[in-house]
Structure 1
Amino acid sequence: MTDPLHRDLLELALKAARRAGELLRDGRPADLAVAKTKSSPIDVVTEMDIAAEKLITDLISGRRPGDGFLGEEGASAEGTSGVRWVIDPLDGTVNYLYGLPTWAVSIAAQQDGETVVGVVAAPMRGETYHAVRGGGAWATGAWEGERALACRPAPPLDQALVSTGFNYVAEVRTHQAEVAARLIPLLRDIRRGGSAAIDLCDVACGRLDGYYERGLNAWDFAAGDLIAREAGALVGGRPGDGPSRELTIAGSPGVFEPLQELLEDFGAWHD
């Protein structure tokens, strides 16, 4: 990594993710409640989502006042520097609400529209994943030093472990369940973790062979997309497209392609 700007953006993203993760881990109230809902009554936002996003944007804008923002909980600014931060302050809110450990802070920095830095902090795992464009993907943990990440060598598809997620709108979720039911006999198994950012990092770590989901927003996948790609995974959507709300797919080369083909045949991209 030689670009001084990218190095600075990474350091700032790591600091913001660490502080937000500490706030969420240590500051979670025992009586945590839903602050509002989004796409449906079960698509929730807590007071901690809002507090974590404010912490992140305040820290970054204090250092880089000309940067733009796109955040899940409403942070939006065009900026003048050519750098935009894409932030999910708490990916896996329902897990967090219930006290389940699979949640993360996801922060990506884009330069002139291209993601150049990605950081995903998973405090309950004691792990942080990060990547800079062209510099590989890395993880740090409480019990080990920094290690390089690499996706798993591709098994035959019928031996692949694949993760997915489900929408909070009942009609969409029903169709997604139908697609999953058709896939399950063709795979080793399917997992449902509840955090897109962690699923993408698990592909990067070799803990999953593949991942797919419909309905993601840019803040859900921006950081994890870069981390997975820098670890050697393929990331995309429908054939010829990148990841999007329509469909996001990640996987080891050799798993990605047949998985994408099946998802296209099964109509995973529509409601």
Structure 2
Amino acid sequence: MPEMLQTTDSTNYTDVVSETADAVRAAGAALRERFGDVVRPSSRDELMRALADNDDTALAVLRPRLTRLRPNAGWVEEELDGGALPPGEWWVVDPAEGNINHLHGLPEWAVTATLVRDNRPVLTAVHLPLTGETYTALTGAGAHLDGRRLHVSPATDLSLSVVATSQARPDEDGTVVRRVGSSITAMLFDALVVRTAVPATLHLLNVAAGRIDAFWQFSGARADLLPGALLVTEAGGQLSDAQGHPWTPHSDSFLAAAPGVHAAAVATLSR
């Protein structure tokens, strides 16, 4: 990942973090009203419309609030986009992270908003509407869960670790699918427990909170990695690609881990 901003003046962004958290909570409340019954679309088009309806519901709340906060910032709301952004400030949002879970009546979904400056995340807020939890991070000021400081796990033994992975897209190409499968097999040999589910952000929240010890993903997008990447870094975690090289939005893999198991995770994923 690009190095986190070293000169961010936290006082300039403290109020922005708070108001961003308010925005994702408000959007989450709107999505919670739509949650409950399982949606069973009969075609891909119907599925895409149902997903878009959830996105639009949240964006109707998020976009005006965040635009008022940083009126000169650009806007990115396509959760599957990847790569670098143009210079300047950008809001990278996922209005319904884990949207497919929401439609299926599953609890693993969230609303995220991350402010990026010159391709480095400055701040993020992630809200889980069904638990009421809100995670925030500000570069240089730590990661927090409802005001409580977060710290990654002190784990030092991968064989005693809980690790997790996710799929970046529903229609990955065959090379990525096989890479995901082989990495899960490798981790099943080397780690204690391997969790596999979407979305990525919820696993990364658990890494930042010290509940699990590592998360990896092949391929990926800005919206599902940037919020958790900042939270993990500010909680004392270590980021790289699966081979241990610095992670950037152009990388074809992603690893976030407690420092004590990062090298072992790289070794496992590099086999």
**TM-score, L = length of structure 1:** 0.83
Higher relative contact order (CA 8 A, sep 6+): 2
Contact 1:36/1:45 (8 A) holds in 2:
no
Matched, 1:100 2:101: no
Give unpaired runs (5+ residues) of structure 1. Answer: 141-145, 266-271
Number of aligned residue pairs: give it: 254
In the TM superposition, what is the alpha-carbon distance from 1:80 to its structure 2 partner?
Answer: 11
Which of the residues 2, 16, 20 maps onto 1:9?
16
2:253 pairs with 1:241: no
2:3 is aligned to none
**Alpha-carbon contact 1:70-1:86 (below 8 Å) kept:** yes
Work out the CA distance in 2 between the residues paired with 1:12 and 1:36.
39
- The separation in 2 between residues aligned to 1:35 and 1:89, in whole angstroms, is 24
Pair 1:49 & 2:49 matched:
no
Provide the C-alpha distance between the structure 1 equivalents of 2:23 and 2:204, rounded to a whole number of angstroms.
20
2:156 is matched with: 155
In 2, Cα distance between equivalents of 1:93 and 1:218: 16
Q: Which runs of 5+ in 2 are unaligned?
A: 1-7
CA distance in 2: counterparts of 1:56 and 1:124, whole angstroms: 18
Residues 213 and 261 in structure 2, CA contact (< 8 A), matched pair in contact too: yes
Question: Within the alignment, does 1:223 sit opposite 2:206 as a pair?
Answer: no
Q: Note if contact 1:137-1:149 (Cα within 8 Å) is conserved in structure 2.
A: yes
Determine the structure 2 residue equivalent to 1:165: 166
Counterparts of residues 120-159 of structure 1 (less than 5 Å): 120-140=126-146, 146-159=147-160
State the distance in 2 between where 1:134 and 1:6 align: 11
Distance across 1 between alignment mates of 2:142 and 2:154: 17
User: CA contact under 8 A between 1:106 and 1:121: conserved in structure 2?
Assistant: yes
CA positional deviation for 1:8: 2.9
> By percentage of residues, which structure has more strand?
1
Q: Using a 3 Å threshold, how does the CA distance of structure 1 residues 186 and 73 change in structure 2: closer, same or farther?
A: closer
TM-score normalised to the size of structure 2?
Answer: 0.83
Tell me the CA shift for residue 174 of structure 1. 4.3
Q: Percent identity?
A: 26
Superposition deviation, residue 113 in structure 1: 2.6
* Amino acid in structure 2 at the alignment position of 1:173: V
